[in-house]
Amino acid sequence: MNKKQKKMLIRIIVAAVLIVLFSKLPIDGYVRFGLFMIPYLVIGYDILQKAFKGIRNKQVFDENFLMAVATVGAILLGDYSEGVAVMLFYQIGELFQSYAVGKSRRNISELMDIRPDYANIEVDGKLEQVDPDEVEIGTVIVVQPGEKVPIDGVIIDGVSILNTSALTGESLPRDAKAGDEVISGCINMTGVLKIRTIREFGESTVSKILELVENSSSRKSKSENFISKFAKYYTPVVCYGALALAFIPPIVLLIMGKPAMWGDWIYRALTFLVISCPCALVISIPLSFFAGIGGASNQGVLVKGSNYLETLAQTSYVVFDKTGTMTQGVFEVSGVHHNEISDEKLLEYAALAECSSSHPISKSLQKAYGKPIDRNRVTDIEEVSGNGVTAKVDGISVAAGNAKLMKRLGISYQECHHVGTVIHMAVDGKYEGHILISDILKPHAKEAIAELKKAGIKKTVMLTGDSKRVADQVAKELGIGEVYSELLPADKVSKVEELLHQKSEKEKLAFVGDGINDAPVLSRADIGIAMGALGSDAAIEAADIVLMDDDPLKISKAIKIARKCIHIVYENIYFAIGIKILCLILGALGIANMWMAIFADVGVMIIAVLNAIRTLFVKNL
């Protein structure tokens, strides 16, 4: 509890004790009125002040006005204990709501407690702490064990383990070494790192994430906008309704020659006012979305606003980019098929022959070989453009390349029908097999598609610029329903347009991409989801939702979180409005008294707030 909440708790306890004490005293008249005004003012002075300010600012109809009129009216009718009790229970509800919102905000604050307070710069052999905003691009900063990485950069010295859980939701630490790019917000766990900054603090990942979370509440969903408009018209309607209830029936009774019973009808009107207070709706709906955004952030899913959460819950079509989204976007050796020499020897010959090339294929071969390259063993290197490489390794002629190279050298080779890039190998003029290099699937890609289908996604589609053979193979492995290949960026937008016209108006289409090449498609889809795009300006700008790591399983997780949040929102709307209408009817008929009115207001609000907080707990979805 903060100071304000503790102060309110003390006021509640003091007022409750005084009500119980004064209720037992055998006194009447002005003395009893004066005594009950003490707990009333202790617990309700701020509500009366807010109501008076509202009237003065010509913004009369709010919950403070309703509470002030209802409680003052009850006291004037002589129902002192009920009038003070209504104010007391209202303040208990407000305290509970304040605590619940505070807890929700604290959860997000703890989660997003990644804003660094300082950056270390080495000056004359000593470390100086400076404001991260003052650090220029290209500056070398030092991050010690236990400190946060303050600014995005590249490690130039040191080896360590980084805790990225605040950013990605992943508990597994990541290794970091010289040459690796690191993003701000990570916690350095072991060694000392020297990092050369590549962005200013304001453009770093941590700043962009915090900006997204801070701005998310400004983008309201249709449900939130509906409740705001509802409360705007609802409150004056019930105030005029209460006024009518207080005066029209007694006047009608007088005309009919019957006793007017003014006191009874005014009491009914005051009860009607207490019941009508829209606190449960006005508080619980935004809180549900706020908690939903917090729960999603805790799982590594950044949602830019509650409107996107609402759209995501209605998603029926999910369209994927291939490279970098469902595949790792990194070429690796996926198979070695040899004749007479071993796999290891074939890889050794290939890596040594390709040692002078900077092509990604060459780097993949050298990585698969996994040993230091001794260039002294290699002579007579000749790169044949569009074909491959010939060289001598330990004095033995080696050729590594495509089928064109084999034909050029007059070497008969075996056709390969595997999906990927095939490197044919000839050693000492003889064909010795081939090495397959391909863009491998992400670890959870297949499982992610299965989870989406379980979640009720109607159609999964993959769009790629790759060849049809590669695209069909990947789609088949993943279990994706439709695949369109050999597409340019503009073609992807056109294909998404077609899919948007195929679905019904209520169904929504989500596009999942790496956020760099796919910005136009991310913007065009009903909901754009950027995968593994921390630090990518294009992703953060174009996407509505950013997954803070590259795990495709987070897509189904995000959809489940959104659906749970919307389900709870509608539960609260139906529950709160249903109870209100029932109690309003009972109040108008004189069946409901002030105590039932307190339940209809404070009780319903507490239940709705408790229900809203459930959206924070999404770990096991």
CB 537 within 8 A of CB 350: no
545-547 and 527-530 as β-strands: parallel, antiparallel, unpaired? parallel
Can you tell me whether residue 128 is helix, strand or coil? strand
CA torsion angle 326 332 338 343 (round to 10): -130
Return the amino acid letter for 553.
L
Nearest Cα to 276, choosing from 568, 23, 65? 65
113 is a catalytic site residue:
no
Return the amino acid letter for 340.
E
Q: Hunting for tokens 């007017």 — which residue is that?
A: 260
Among candidate residues 321, 518, 526, 549, the one labeled active-site is: 321
Task: Give me the numbers of helices (H) and strands (E) for the chain, helices first please.
Answer: 21, 22
5-41 burial, b for 16+ CB within 10 Å, e for fewer? eeebeebbeebbebbeebeeeeeeeeebeebbeebbe
Q: Which residues contact 306 (CB under 8 A, 6 or more apart)?
A: 216, 217, 219, 220, 221, 223, 224, 286, 289, 290, 292, 293
Q: DSSP for 26-74?
A: ---HHHHHHHHHHHHHHHHHHHHHHHHHHHHTT---SHHHHHHHHHHHH
What is the token pair recorded at 216? 């998310």
According to DSSP, residue 152 is labeled -
Reading across the β-sheet that carries 388-393, which strands appear in turn?
Answer: 327-338, 430-441, 421-427, 396-401, 388-393, 378-384
The 10 Å Cβ neighbour count of residue 446 is 16
Per the DSSP assignment, residues forming a β-bridge with 301 are: 547
Q: DSSP for 477-532?
A: HHT-SEEE-S--HHHHHHHHHHHHHHS-SS-EEEEEE-SSS-HHHHHHSSEEEESS
Return the amino acid letter for 293.
I
Measure the CA–CA gap between 311 and 563, rounded to whole angstroms: 10
Angle at 413 between CA 412 and CA 415, to 5 degrees: 140
Q: DSSP for 231-252?
A: HHHHHHHHHHHHHHHHHHHHHH
Give me the active site residues, please. 321
